[in-house]
Chains A and B, each alone.
Chain A
């Protein structure tokens, strides 16, 4: 089975500093993967490259069935192709309601003239309700997103991500700023999502990663240092040296 996402030997430099150095990465269609590594390892830059925000100096990025060369597409094209990303800081649209945020995220026709003629259908309404339920914001549908708590905003963003119905989810530090209960809820969300699509989670919180119970990739100085189960990886001496500490 060919991988959903195939990243082959990408490298990128910023002003002389090599942020990504000959990195290769693969993930299958229904798989949950965690990426860990120290600050500056290139985790966010890696996501930038996959989503089209940054162009690598070398390497290939292939996605989907039939294979698309992501390096030739713009960010919005990549998103429409089925790659969804949740950013480190929650970036919901604070001026608009939760409902509007979710409705915009729904995987409908994105082109301007179609959107001009858009009429809210009951189907969309159901889907929004289901998503709101899933992320625990059913009571907040008509509130302005700017008024939500930090954790709620994170969930809203995950909800918007799911609304897009992407094949590949890239989630950047979902647990930041959450309480223990919220973290458990988030873990459930991600594990559920991974049943039907590929999910890549970047995290620092080891407990959170342990609960995810999935394959782990360790990045260091722009390339893959180790890969395997969490136990395997945490036992690796190099990983301990650069990241975990003794």
Chain B
């Protein structure tokens, strides 16, 4: 009997610890039951600590389940369980400590505990220490990552133990790194912390810098004398290191000086003390200057009515009497010194890696520009053809890729199919363009430029009609996603690497074709001497065709590459055309290495500029363009130029037979037209012609005026400037500034006139500033507006600013003998740079909002628009008449002969002793001023001006009007401008009737641009002398002038 008792006791004793442990977790949970049932982030801490300290093996699983909302409580006795589903619909209870089954229960008897996310976060943090030592490396890594994001002091010791038991070297290294990082902040002794700090020397990781920077946090403090025993970062000299106002304010905050009285408070004080229309003996009407107000305030202060002013001198003395310093929050100098040194070292390393990253980005950009431009370089080099539609071939390639992806869903396969298909489509398009248009314009590079421009806008519009205006996706295969990351500073996406490889492949391929194949040999022969080549049996026609096709095909492939990371829209091409031209021009025409050099230079330059202006990509493009314009002055033939006599010769321009313009006839017609319109207008007469029509006519007359200027510079002098619209716009901006300023001033004065005190000039300026610049988030009137209150000054600027720009640009360009298409490209670049500059909000001209309300003339607010518009119409007619007279005078005498001689054979007239550059400069500047005056008259009639007006395309339209009207005839220019712009607004305004074609209706709003583009091509091909030329043929007189 006793033996049985002993056995039972032994069993009980043996089992007791287990059940004591059993009871252990459950008992522990029982103790904290209330807090577990209703946990909150703040109260749960002690519970978790208790659980962790108990070192019970089941705690980890318990915590995990709890965090995952898998913990249940039996309502009857409040005990906690895990559950398992059974077939019967009931739940099997699992003991939280042993994991043994503990009976069935109904769902209704149980409560599922769902702690909120805050609590779950705290639980997760507690779990960390278990997870750090978890046998599964994935889990350890997860825990480590969570810890890296958010660690505190307690984790340091946990980490230490975790490191010791770590087997995986990579994870161990990370744990050690984290330990070092935490030691910086939480280390127990100075030595350990300093060692940890110094261990990060040369480490570019962001986490290192994030750990070190807080050690160097400073705040500004004021001391009565040089501080001792305080960890001073640096002493601040008032005025240079710290602003006087800020320094004084610090003194005020520390109650070491009297507070200054803000301007507004002073004003309110004056207002409060107005008695009988006077303040302290000064009449209210006199308080219109700040100086008068100050006097009044001083009077009040002398009486003690208001707090006294603190003079500047007083402030200065107070500030000088104290010492200002930046003080470290961290008092230990050893630590801060170590941190400072290490950070300095790190920034050196970071700087190096930033350079590497920049170089990689520059290479990537260069490879993109290379791909985009190499096709152009080939066609330009071989055929001397400037293809303005090159950008559209890129677009065609991109859209081809999109279409392919619509049919082949697998991204990898679709790209593999798209590349050769894009090449083929673009190749065919190029061949078609060459056969139909370019072939017929041989040796007329400027006409080719215009005709291809027509194709370009037609293609853009067609693409827009087919694919819509929204960007279409071109998706890269998933294995190209992501990036190659060297460290926190250097990384490059795989797509860019792929494009780089692609461009290298093309470089190699082209070099091979050009240097190792028969085709390449023939192409090179035709480039250098087409006649000689053809007399040796090479067919230059076939070569031209193939070359053009090849260049276009490469553009197509570039389109696919570009489409992978950029948006595929109908405007994709126009974003790359100017860059491609510049690459070709900078690199030197006609050879691949040149294009490579050009792309490299432009790509890296753009990245460098972007680095210094990180928030402003527009600025980067602007500076780059300006740099290139200057670069061309020194190396006008590009980096790698074709040498030899052949490179210097240019084909002779086709000369135009000019009839003496009948000036009187024109002036007469203009006068009659003007008078008739005025009589018929609403403002002055019969009201048969609406005010808006008068405005349209007035604007058209201004366009005719700039067309005359364009004809003068191009038709008569041979300078195809594709940037004259920039001068037009600048003229508009100059007068717009006065209009807007004065009108805003009137409004501000009116609104301030209701105040208690009359407005001071400063207050008016402030009001104007916030009105005008509020839209771009500023309120200060910038220096550009310095003269904006003077009509006379702004009128002078209308002439001076564009004139000066033309002088400088022209001097630079003509002096380095840049002519022909090169010059046209440079003028495009100039106008692009200007419009980009104006688009920026900090240009001081309201960015893309432009200037508005220009139809309201200050001082004439009572005059109705119908009358104002008639006056402007008259002014425009007058300006047009005068402009015509001036132009006719210039071209009819010897000067006209000389500039036409320059147009026809520049070298010859130079050898006759005429300083050709001086003539070009005179004509360029004069026409720029005429254009500016036309703009100054145009924009008040339009009512608004913004940078989009000066887009490069606007200047091209100008050339087109003149080409259509007939170059070298002044009235031709007028006809062209009037016809095309009126037609344009008729078609795009929706007034033109749609043409139903049965299956398809032509809506002119969508198709006008196509018609226009094709129109240019047809006019250039078949009617090179324009409408004016047709006119001449109809009224054939004796050819003698």
The answer on a CB contact under 8 Å between B897 and A110 is no
Identify which of residues 61-83 in chain A touch chain B, using a CB-to-CB cut-off of 8 Å.
Answer: 74-77, 79-80
Instruction: Looking at the assembled complex, report how far the CB atom of A162 sits from the nearest CB atom of chain B, in whole angstroms.
Output: 12
The answer on a CB contact under 8 Å between A76 and B894 is no
Distance in angstroms between the alpha carbons of A142 and B1038 in the assembled complex: 12
Identify which of residues 82-111 in chain A touch chain B, using a CB-to-CB cut-off of 8 Å.
Answer: 84-85, 87, 91, 93-97, 100, 103-105, 107, 110-111
Identify which of residues 321-366 in chain B touch chain A, using a CB-to-CB cut-off of 8 Å.
Answer: none
The answer on a CB contact under 8 Å between A76 and B908 is no
A146 contacts partner chain B, Cβ-Cβ < 8 Å:
yes
- Point out the residue from B644, B904, B910, B1041 that lies within 8 Å of A79, measured CB to CB: B910
Identify which of residues 153-171 in chain A touch chain B, using a CB-to-CB cut-off of 8 Å.
Answer: 160, 164
The answer on a CB contact under 8 Å between B900 and A14 is no
A116 contacts partner chain B, Cβ-Cβ < 8 Å:
yes
The answer on a CB contact under 8 Å between A94 and B893 is no
A245 contacts partner chain B, Cβ-Cβ < 8 Å:
no
B245 contacts partner chain A, Cβ-Cβ < 8 Å:
no
Contacting residues, chain B, for A164 (C-beta < 8 A):
912-913
Identify which of residues 899-933 in chain B touch chain A, using a CB-to-CB cut-off of 8 Å.
Answer: 900-901, 904-905, 907-916, 918-919, 922
B890 contacts partner chain A, Cβ-Cβ < 8 Å:
yes
A143 contacts partner chain B, Cβ-Cβ < 8 Å:
yes
The stretch from B180-188, B651-659, B739-747, B835-843 touching chain A is: B651-659
Contacting residues, chain A, for B655 (C-beta < 8 A):
93-95, 146
Contacting residues, chain A, for B913 (C-beta < 8 A):
76, 79-80, 107, 110, 164
The answer on a CB contact under 8 Å between B901 and A112 is no
B665 contacts partner chain A, Cβ-Cβ < 8 Å:
no
A144 contacts partner chain B, Cβ-Cβ < 8 Å:
yes
Known contacts A110-B915, A111-B918: A95-B644 contact under CB 8 Å:
no
Contacting residues, chain A, for B922 (C-beta < 8 A):
112-113
Known contacts A14-B645, A76-B910, A95-B904: A115-B894 contact under CB 8 Å:
yes
Identify which of residues 170-190 in chain A touch chain B, using a CB-to-CB cut-off of 8 Å.
Answer: none
Distance in angstroms between the alpha carbons of A111 and B919 in the assembled complex: 8
The answer on a CB contact under 8 Å between B912 and A95 is no
- Point out the residue from B900, B905, B914, B1041 that lies within 8 Å of A76, measured CB to CB: B914
Chain B, 870-906, contact with A by CB distance < 8 Å: what is the 0/1 string?
Answer: 0000000000000000000010011101101100110
Contacting residues, chain B, for A107 (C-beta < 8 A):
913
Identify which of residues 1021-1041 in chain B touch chain A, using a CB-to-CB cut-off of 8 Å.
Answer: 1039-1041
The answer on a CB contact under 8 Å between A14 and B904 is no
Identify which of residues 43-73 in chain A touch chain B, using a CB-to-CB cut-off of 8 Å.
Answer: 51, 53
Distance in angstroms between the alpha carbons of A84 and B908 in the assembled complex: 11
Distance in angstroms between the alpha carbons of A74 and B910 in the assembled complex: 9
The answer on a CB contact under 8 Å between B645 and A96 is no
Of all chain B residues, which has the CB nearest A120?
A: B894
Distance in angstroms between the alpha carbons of A120 and B897 in the assembled complex: 13
B643 contacts partner chain A, Cβ-Cβ < 8 Å:
yes
Contacting residues, chain A, for B894 (C-beta < 8 A):
103-104, 115, 118, 120
The answer on a CB contact under 8 Å between A79 and B911 is yes
The answer on a CB contact under 8 Å between B919 and A118 is no
Known contacts A76-B915, A105-B912, A112-B919: A95-B895 contact under CB 8 Å:
no
Instruction: Looking at the assembled complex, report how far the CB atom of B757 sits from the nearest CB atom of chain A, in whole angstroms.
Output: 57
Contacting residues, chain B, for A110 (C-beta < 8 A):
913-915
The answer on a CB contact under 8 Å between A144 and B1039 is yes
A15 contacts partner chain B, Cβ-Cβ < 8 Å:
yes
Known contacts A96-B900, A143-B1040, A144-B1039: A51-B893 contact under CB 8 Å:
no
Distance in angstroms between the alpha carbons of A169 and B658 in the assembled complex: 32
Quick one: which of A79, A80, A87, A97 has the most chain B CB within 10 A?
A79
Quick one: which of A51, A93, A104 has the most chain B CB within 10 A?
A93
Contacting residues, chain A, for B645 (C-beta < 8 A):
14
Determine the interface band of chain B, counting residues with CB < 8 A from chain A: 20 to 34
Instruction: Looking at the assembled complex, report how far the CB atom of A44 sits from the nearest CB atom of chain B, in whole angstroms.
Output: 9
Quick one: which of A91, A96, A120 has the most chain B CB within 10 A?
A96
Where chain B touches its partner, the secondary structure class is helix
Known contacts A14-B643, A146-B655: A85-B911 contact under CB 8 Å:
yes
Contacting residues, chain A, for B1041 (C-beta < 8 A):
97
The answer on a CB contact under 8 Å between B1040 and A116 is no
Distance in angstroms between the alpha carbons of A79 and B644 in the assembled complex: 24
The answer on a CB contact under 8 Å between A14 and B898 is no
Contacting residues, chain B, for A104 (C-beta < 8 A):
894, 897-898, 901, 909, 912, 914
Of all chain A residues, which has the CB nearest B655?
A: A95
Contacting residues, chain A, for B905 (C-beta < 8 A):
91, 93
Contacting residues, chain A, for B915 (C-beta < 8 A):
74, 76-77, 110-112
Of all chain A residues, which has the CB nearest B890?
A: A116
- Point out the residue from B657, B912, B919 that lies within 8 Å of A160, measured CB to CB: B912
The answer on a CB contact under 8 Å between A93 and B901 is yes
Contacting residues, chain B, for A144 (C-beta < 8 A):
657, 1039-1040
The answer on a CB contact under 8 Å between B893 and A118 is yes
The answer on a CB contact under 8 Å between B908 and A118 is no
The answer on a CB contact under 8 Å between A115 and B895 is yes
Instruction: Looking at the assembled complex, report how far the CB atom of A187 sits from the nearest CB atom of chain B, in whole angstroms.
Output: 24
Chain B, 644-670, contact with A by CB distance < 8 Å: what is the 0/1 string?
Answer: 110000000001111000000000000
Instruction: Looking at the assembled complex, report how far the CB atom of A92 sits from the nearest CB atom of chain B, in whole angstroms.
Output: 8
Distance in angstroms between the alpha carbons of A82 and B907 in the assembled complex: 17
Instruction: Looking at the assembled complex, report how far the CB atom of B74 sits from the nearest CB atom of chain A, in whole angstroms.
Output: 99
Contacting residues, chain A, for B904 (C-beta < 8 A):
93-95
Contacting residues, chain A, for B656 (C-beta < 8 A):
95
Quick one: which of B645, B890, B907, B922 has the most chain A CB within 10 A?
B645
Quick one: which of B658, B909, B912 has the most chain A CB within 10 A?
B912
Chain B, 924-966, contact with A by CB distance < 8 Å: what is the 0/1 string?
Answer: 0000000000000000000000000000000000000000000
Distance in angstroms between the alpha carbons of A110 and B911 in the assembled complex: 12
Identify which of residues 104-145 in chain A touch chain B, using a CB-to-CB cut-off of 8 Å.
Answer: 104-105, 107, 110-113, 115-116, 118, 120, 142-144
Instruction: Looking at the assembled complex, report how far the CB atom of B951 sits from the nearest CB atom of chain A, in whole angstroms.
Output: 32
Instruction: Looking at the assembled complex, report how far the CB atom of A86 sits from the nearest CB atom of chain B, in whole angstroms.
Output: 9
Contacting residues, chain B, for A97 (C-beta < 8 A):
1040-1041
Instruction: Looking at the assembled complex, report how far the CB atom of B911 sits from the nearest CB atom of chain A, in whole angstroms.
Output: 5
Contacting residues, chain A, for B644 (C-beta < 8 A):
14-15
The answer on a CB contact under 8 Å between A79 and B912 is yes
Contacting residues, chain B, for A111 (C-beta < 8 A):
915, 918
Chain B, 449-492, contact with A by CB distance < 8 Å: what is the 0/1 string?
Answer: 00000000000000000000000000000000000000000000
Contacting residues, chain A, for B901 (C-beta < 8 A):
93, 96, 104
Instruction: Looking at the assembled complex, report how far the CB atom of B123 sits from the nearest CB atom of chain A, in whole angstroms.
Output: 80
Instruction: Looking at the assembled complex, report how far the CB atom of B147 sits from the nearest CB atom of chain A, in whole angstroms.
Output: 69
Contacting residues, chain B, for A84 (C-beta < 8 A):
911
Contacting residues, chain A, for B893 (C-beta < 8 A):
115-116, 118
Distance in angstroms between the alpha carbons of A91 and B652 in the assembled complex: 10
The answer on a CB contact under 8 Å between A75 and B911 is yes
The answer on a CB contact under 8 Å between A51 and B908 is no
Contacting residues, chain A, for B900 (C-beta < 8 A):
93, 95-96
Instruction: Looking at the assembled complex, report how far the CB atom of A179 sits from the nearest CB atom of chain B, in whole angstroms.
Output: 25
Distance in angstroms between the alpha carbons of A85 and B1040 in the assembled complex: 28
The answer on a CB contact under 8 Å between A100 and B897 is yes
Distance in angstroms between the alpha carbons of A125 and B671 in the assembled complex: 37
Instruction: Looking at the assembled complex, report how far the CB atom of A246 sits from the nearest CB atom of chain B, in whole angstroms.
Output: 30
Contacting residues, chain B, for A146 (C-beta < 8 A):
655
Distance in angstroms between the alpha carbons of A118 and B910 in the assembled complex: 19
In the assembled complex, 15 residue pairs joining A and B whose CB atoms fall closer than 8 Å, in A order, are A14-B643, A74-B915, A76-B911, A76-B912, A80-B913, A91-B907, A93-B655, A95-B900, A103-B894, A103-B897, A112-B895, A112-B922, A116-B893, A118-B893, A118-B895
New A-B contacts (18) at CB < 8 Å, excluding given A91-B908, A107-B913:
A14-B644, A75-B911, A79-B910, A87-B911, A93-B897, A93-B904, A95-B656, A104-B898, A110-B915, A111-B915, A112-B919, A112-B922, A115-B894, A115-B895, A116-B890, A118-B893, A120-B894, A144-B1039
Residues of B at the A interface (CB closer than 8 Å) are: 643-645, 655-658, 890, 893-895, 897-898, 900-901, 904-905, 907-916, 918-919, 922, 1039-1041
The 3 closest A-B pairs by CB, nearest first: A79-B913, A95-B655, A80-B913
